[in-house]
Chains A and B, each alone.
Chain A
């Protein structure tokens, strides 16, 4: 063991009952330091979860692909058999549903991931002092990577359905990341309350389904009626529409609003992160009871 102890400059930690908001400068430094210091730990937790998730499974990572395939098949058959009549989507329906489902799932998972990953590491949180952001980062990383892997599904679907991809496909990763960003931004606001009360996670599970039907995931953008109104005021609409457009080369009608939404999401994320940082000691204290 050769860790030389530096006795000249010892780091000093002070704990007081005061809100860290009282000193914004220190708060900001704390937050950025925490982010920096937790990278390695976050990666360790990330790889732990990635490994553990497949070690006890025969099909392993293949499980990532089954849910979107299942959803796509269900909607494909519903549409094919005429049970549900979906208007013209401008591209083969299976490809349309697949894109929508993948993007939607990326959003929904990033929305709940901070809560679930913190809850999963509750045992450690209440007993060990380590950067509280680390499990959140690990969770976000996990969601981002797994849903990015899922995007590979688009390749066979496009070939099978005979969809021609446009050069604008290079922007698709950005469109995909914007879904994740919006998910995390909303999620960061819900996390503190969601850790205290299980109601939040439950409502997301339930309301998530409604939200999906209020978004053009399995049907094309509605322009009239109640659905049209829902689509219009739903920020997800613009992101999903733009995402689809990058794959086939347009139309990019939703792009300007999508960019505004992303900017908002980014600001929201910064605020949510601050809220998380300030409230998390209080929350963990109550979790440990």
Chain B
């Protein structure tokens, strides 16, 4: 799979391959009703497009139990572009992909797909566990639209890419799940599509193979229009030229700059604050200021900005003395950085009963783009028991134009020693 044909035909490089206009899809929550509606819709179709006006009207009454899984989605995609579809679970990304892939019919609007469509959605769907890997390559290949001759030509590349040469004549059910996915990816990506649909396929397999897949996709992407769904913002930032952010079936942002889209996605993140501890300490307030200016709700910090927090808390009278710690949590609420508070002589600061207000310079924020929140922990100096642990405080976002595969990004000068 190393030598992709170079078709650098500049005149055709920028043609619009995907055109989506005001797309909408209705789903039904109730299975029985859904089946019945399916029957009714089929009957309506058979009695001849009584919904012919759908394009003009673009409105449909919801029947009982129905909801819009997708509504008002429009975009155009050209060859060489890669659009990232992001949004939280239930945002309608998969529904949109299914419509683009022709698996389900839209309820409003129109889709125009120009060229050969390849989908890396269900890797290895249709594998028969009893048959051998080789037999399954032929079946899977014909399912995605390759002729037997084309598969004959590609089969060695496919086996090579999947790294399963020694098992290729064993039944697929003896394969590990990783091997099945590798084989599935190898077959699916052997098609050279004009439009490529990718849905979270990279979430499986080990890192080595993931990188291999990414490289393969990058190869394919030179010459196709790609629609890419992922929850991994690093992938999105790496691959996409544009980002469409979805929320509850509705597109909320079509960003030409992936950084904006990713920032918007992180902005949708909801932090569940939690409070625990024995009691005896209370967080009064926490404010964040960037380069000297206090930020109100929903602060957005540019990567590299100098940040200071203004923290105030109180210790109740039965506590002799306490120490405090501020952490920054990422979106999965795991701690990224801890700032133990020190006094002027660089020892652990002791806080006695009463209300305290301190300013803590956090320095330049070199966190990767994402959404974060603070955690404040106060514990008794002597017994070390936790008096207060409050997380999810003052959620904020860090934005950057590029995302890098790390938690912390610190561009560093390299000093030339010798040429």
Contacts and interface: CB of A to CB of B under 8 A. Distances in A.
Nearest to B50: A19
B126 A19 contact: no
Contacts of A55: 130-131
Interface string A267-289: 00000000100110111111011
A3 B125 contact: no
A13 B102 contact: yes
A16 B110 contact: yes
B121 A5 contact: no
A83 interface: no
A124 B143 contact: yes
Contacts of B108: 17
Contacts of B38: 196, 282-283, 285-286
B130 A22 contact: no
Nearest to A280: B42
Given A52-B130, A282-B41, A18 B52 contact: yes
A288 B103 contact: yes
Contact of A44 (B3, B105, B138): B138
Given A5-B223, A128-B143, A196-B39, A48 B128 contact: yes
Contacts of A28: none
A4 B192 CA distance: 9
A45 B115 CA distance: 25
Nearest to B21: A16
Given A1-B190, A44-B139, A283 B110 contact: no
A205 interface: no
Given A19-B48, A52-B131, A192-B42, A128 B114 contact: no
Nearest to A12: B114
Interface in A1-55: 1-5, 7-8, 10-22, 40-41, 44-45, 48, 51-52, 55
B74 interface: no
Most buried by B among A7, A40, A278: A7
Contacts, number: 177
B200 to A, nearest CB: 13
Contacts of A285: 38, 103-105
Interface in A62-95: none
Given A40-B142, A45-B139, A129-B101, A123 B112 contact: no
Given A17-B54, A286-B35, A7 B9 contact: yes
A48 B135 contact: yes
Contacts of A129: 101-103, 117, 119
Given A5-B192, A281-B104, A21 B111 contact: no
Interface in A166-199: 192-193, 196-197
B51 interface: yes
A56 interface: yes
Contacts of B130: 52, 55-56
B49 A196 contact: no
Nearest to A49: B128
Interface string B78-108: 0000000000000000000011011111111
A18 B122 contact: no
Nearest to B224: A5
A20 B102 CA distance: 14
A121 interface: yes
Contact of B46 (A278, A286, A289): A278
B45 A279 contact: yes
Interface in A119-173: 121, 123-124, 126-130
Nearest to A38: B142
B278 to A, nearest CB: 49
A279 B105 CA distance: 11
A128 B192 contact: no
A282 B223 contact: no
A128 B51 contact: no
A124 B125 contact: yes
B341 to A, nearest CB: 54
Pick the 6 closest A-B CB pairs, nearest first.
Answer: A127-B122, A286-B38, A22-B49, A279-B42, A19-B45, A19-B49
21 contacts: A11-B116, A12-B112, A12-B113, A14-B110, A16-B111, A17-B105, A19-B49, A20-B45, A44-B138, A44-B142, A55-B131, A124-B143, A127-B121, A128-B144, A129-B102, A129-B103, A278-B46, A279-B42, A281-B105, A283-B38, A286-B38
